[in-house]
Structure formats: C-alpha cells, structure tokens
Chains A and B, each alone.
Chain A
Amino acid sequence: MNNKSIEKITTNIAKIRTPLRLVSGKTLPQYDLKYETYGELNENKDNAVLICHALSGNHHAAGKYQGDDKVGWWDNMIGPEKPIDTNKQFVVCLNNLGGCHGTTGPTSINPETNKVYGSDFPIITVNDWVNSQKELMDYLDIPYWQFIVGGSLGGMQAFEWTLQFPLLVKNCIVIAAAPKLTAQNIAFNEIARQAIMKDPNWHDGNYLSKGVFPNHGLALARMLGHITYLSDASMKEKFGRDLKKSKLNFNYEVEFQIESYLRYQGEKFVTGFDANTYMLMTKTLDYYDPIKDLSKSIKDRLGDSKSKYLIISFTSDWRFPPIRSKEIVKILLDNENNVSYSEITADGGHDAFLMENKDYFDVMRSFIKEVDDGF
C-alpha cells in the first residue's frame, strides 16, 4: 500500500458573517469555520470532495504539519494515489461547528458578551452542520460536491447533505453509520455526559471562566467511548489479560494492560479536546433522525436526490453494526436511489473505518474510480 502523505496542506479559516438559524430556534450571528484543503479545484470545478469528521475528529484529515510527525486522522484514505486521490480530487475537510479545533464552538468568545461561550453555546444539529458547510461551499466557490464522504457521525452528515441539498451532491459514501441512534447508543452517550457533569470542575459548563477543566470526567467519557469503538476480538488480540507487571498486586492500581491503555487514551484525549464540545457532539448524535426531522417524510426529503450512494459497514462494529447500515440501504432502496452496499470483514470494531484494509480500500477505489471515469 501507498504510504506517501500529501505534502501541500492549506489550512484556513472561513469567516462566515451570514447569521445561521439553528434547528433549536436560536441564531448564531457569525462564526468561523476552520478547514483544510488538499489538491486543486480544477477548471470545471467538478472534482470537489467533502470529508465529514466523526465525534472527536477535526479538519486535519491528511498530511503532516511542518515539524510534526503525526499525520491527519484519515491519512491512509486521503492522499496522492490513495482511494481519495489528491492528485485528482480537491479535498475539503472542516472542523464542525461547535468543535474545539479552530471553528467557532464553546471555547470561542461570544461576540455578544465578549466572554467565552462555555455551556451557553447553542446545541448544534446535523442539519445545522450541513447548513454551515453549505456556506463554506459557497465561500470556496464550489458548485457541487463530486463526493461527500464520512464515517460514523461523519457518515450521518454525508447522508444528511443529500437530503438537504439533493442536487449538490453527486456521490455520497456513508461508512460505519446508522440512520439514527438506538436506545443503547444514546445510553452510552448519556453515561459519557454524566461522567463530565459529575466532575467537580464542571461548574455547569463554565469551567473555563474558573480556569479549571473537568478532565477526570472527560477522560472517563473518552474511555467509555473508546471501548465502544473497539471489538471484543481486537481488544483480546491487542491486550488479552496481559499484565503490566509480572504478578498480581491485590490492590486497585493499574494491573492489566487494557487498564493502562484506557487511562492513557483518556489522559491523551483531554489535552486536545473540550468537554463542552464533547457534550454537544454526543447530543448532536442523539438528536439525529432524518426520518422524523423537518416534518417531511424521508421520501419527500430524498425525492430529488440523484446522488449515487455507497454504504459500507464492518462485521465487528457493534456501535453501528452492519444491520444499522442496512437500514440506510433500505431507505434508499425503497426510494429507488442508486445505492451499493458492502459489508467488510474486519476485526477492528467501529474504528475499522479508520484502518487500512484491502477489501475496504478496494471497494472505495472501485466506486470512486468508476464514477471518476464516467464523468
């Protein structure tokens, strides 16, 4: 496989000054969207690809920053001669509204009060995201997306795009996603939120003005989330019952490797993520339901969609298992949309969508290449 990363990364901020009316009824008077682009928009402007990130992702999807040795979160998928080929496509990835990596969110200054938003930042829905991304699209002068691609929560956004702007999306790739969350999914999110809110440093979400962080709660939320991203098999293979030291200590210190790993993941996460953003993103997930949304039937919403869909799931994913992806397929089949579906055999659990896998990447390439040539 090709390991070469994209060298030229363009990072920018789009300052959107058109007020955004939110599904909640509130309005954001103005906002910044931090985004990255890779490759060049061609003369016909028909090679633009939007990448939608998942719960804790950001705009840095591919390549390395100067002096940094870590690549973007989807570097194996996006780059020169990779499935999403930056030699051919103009790839755009942004930090979602409400994020904490440069886009306006709970850590930004509220222009009306000149104070940090904190928990006053309005709850954003997937519909709101799509509307804000449409502003970015206009800002970049992109007439339509050749592809919108997303995994997990990003997959839901990609799908929602085709419902909200059916004529602006030629092809939509929805990976490891579901049309809406189940009670079990919401339950996990609720425990994550409770962990954050029960942290003594939470202060009703206004911890930044007190100069503290609910790091314990956020780390706990992340640890819980992380378990749902892995599969039993992958955890067994990676950690088994391995001990950190050679014998049991009969106390409550870290003993098993998995404990150590989860603590590390939690501690690493809190250094780069905001608790209010985590709260908000989990709510966004919980709320998403394209079928109930906007008082229109799914058929009405999909009515004009000429998008071609590719839906991908992974056998070991129990957060959004194949059966959930098939629900999206069913919606599209019932509406006679062009849709293909592949169920990739993989042990990686939900996170398999971020991992290199020959069948998965071949399926992506086959779909993208065909559409490319047919253009």
Chain B
Amino acid sequence: MAFRKDLLLISSWIKNDSKVLDLGCGSGELLKILKQNKNIKGYGVDNDIQNIKSSLKNNVNVLQMDLDKGLNSFESNSFDYVVLAQSLQVVKKPKDLINEMLRVGKEIIVSFPNMGHWSSRIQLLFKGMMPITTNLPYRWDNTPNIHLCTIKDFLKFCRDNNFEITEQCITNKKQKSSLLTKIIPNLFGEIATFRIR
C-alpha cells in the first residue's frame, strides 16, 4: 500500500513504542503506519463522521471531537507525540491549539501546506485570483482552510509565541527535500513539517 510521503516523514521522527495523538487524523493512515512499523499506542482525533468510519475500518482508535474546543479529554504530558498533519489551517485558533498540544504532548509535530510556494505566488500575481494548488484544491468561497500561512509566517508565529522548533523538513511537489527547498524553502517548499517543543 502506498502511504502519503509526508506521513512517512512524520513517522520517521517518531520513536518505537511511544504514545501518539494524531489530531485531524483523517482515515487514520498515519496511526496505521505507526502501529505496523513502530508498535506505538495511538489515538486519532477527527470531527468528520466519514473519517471516523474510515479510521475504524483501519483498526485505529479514533475519537470524534472538535479541535476548536481544545484537548480537555487529554491529561497534561500524557503523550510522547502530538501530531497535527496538514490540519493547522483548518482550526479557528492555531495558537491556542498549539499551546494545548504542547500541554498534552512531550513533543509536537506540525505540518502545513506552504502558501508561499511559487505556484501560489504566480497564480496570485498573474491571474490575480486566490491560488488553487494540489495541496490547496479549494476555491476561496468553499474551503475548510481558514488560516493559511507561508513558512515565513509560521517561523515568525513560533518566535512570537516562544514555540521552540527543534527540527524542520521542507519538501517539494515530489515530497522530497531538494537543493532549492533548502536554499529558498519559502518559495520552493510545498509542505513544511516542524518538530516543536
């Protein structure tokens, strides 16, 4: 089975036998990979009933909850990792959620689609319209994405809020790191993934 490459990257950052909370878990793919390869104990959180069904079919623990209401069901420091994979842009208060993640997890992993990628910039510059890309396929008036940002925005956001980034990986369209994504990540990176403490 072919897994999403961004999830394989996140998986590589997670130690064997750890306890993982995956926020916005979708169909539970990440937890499935982690269960198979890393023997983790994990729970997914999602608020879409279709994702709850898919996760159950994937035999992962899944909790139907609204991330915008915080993580009250979880005790402080009760997880080794709290992951938010490509869901940062859909939450109402990203700062509050990241603070909650830091409360619950010893370490957190956040990934998001980079709005600063050249294809987005070109669409806005030449078409004068909101960009529609592979990772951001929605029209402006019908999108769950309410808090899109660029890598530069996110770095400033972390500095302003004292979120300490310990590792980062910026990947291109092929979901690989390249020379270009290393030199000018905010222009050539499609997906940005950060480890934060």
Contact = CB atoms under 8 A, between A and B. Distances in A.
Question: Do A and B interact?
Answer: yes
Interface of A: 310, 326, 329-330, 333-334, 336, 338-345, 359, 362-363, 366-367, 369-371, 374
Interface in B61-77: 61-65, 73-75
A329 B74 CA distance: 10
Contacts of B9: none
B56 A329 contact: no
Contacts of A359: 49, 53
B4 interface: no
A359 B50 CA distance: 8
Contacts of B121: none
Given A370-B59, A374-B59, A342 B73 contact: no
A239 to B, nearest CB: 29
Interface in B1-54: 19, 41, 43, 49, 52-54
B73 A369 contact: no
Q: What are the 5 tightest A-B residue pairs by CB atom distance, in nearest-first order?
A: A366-B56, A341-B63, A370-B59, A366-B53, A342-B64
Contacts of B74: 333
Contact of A329 (B41, B49, B54, B73): B73
Given A326-B73, A359-B53, A363-B49, 4 more contacts: A330-B73, A343-B65, A359-B49, A370-B58
Contacts of A371: 59
B52 to A, nearest CB: 5
B134 to A, nearest CB: 29
Given A330-B73, A359-B49, A367 B64 contact: no
A366 B63 contact: no
Contact of B52 (A330, A342, A369): A342
B43 A369 contact: no
Contacts of A367: 56
B53 A362 contact: yes
Nearest to B75: A334
B127 interface: no
A310 B49 CA distance: 14
Contacts of B78: 333-334
Interface residues on B, range: 20 to 34
B56 A363 contact: yes
Given A333-B74, A342-B52, A363-B52, A370 B63 contact: no
A125 to B, nearest CB: 28
Interface of B: 19, 41, 43, 49, 52-59, 61-65, 73-75, 78
Given A340-B61, A340-B63, A342-B64, A363 B73 contact: no
Q: Tell me the dominant secondary structure on chain B's binding face.
A: mixed
A342 B41 contact: no
Nearest to B49: A359
A202 B75 CA distance: 50
B41 to A, nearest CB: 6
Given A329-B63, A341-B64, A342-B52, A369 B57 contact: yes
A118 B58 CA distance: 51
Contacts of A369: 57
B21 to A, nearest CB: 10
Given A333-B43, A333-B73, A338 B56 contact: no
Given A326-B73, A333-B43, A338 B61 contact: yes
Contacts of A370: 56-59
B55 to A, nearest CB: 8
Chain B CB within 10 Å — which of A330, A341, A369 has the most?
A: A341
B129 to A, nearest CB: 35
Given A333-B43, A359-B49, A340 B73 contact: no
B113 to A, nearest CB: 28
Contacts of B41: 336
Nearest to A341: B63
Given A333-B73, A334-B75, A363-B52, A339 B57 contact: no
Contacts of B49: 342, 344-345, 359, 363
Contacts of A333: 43, 73-75, 78
A340 B65 CA distance: 11
A261 B134 CA distance: 56
5 contacts: A334-B75, A339-B63, A342-B52, A370-B58, A371-B59
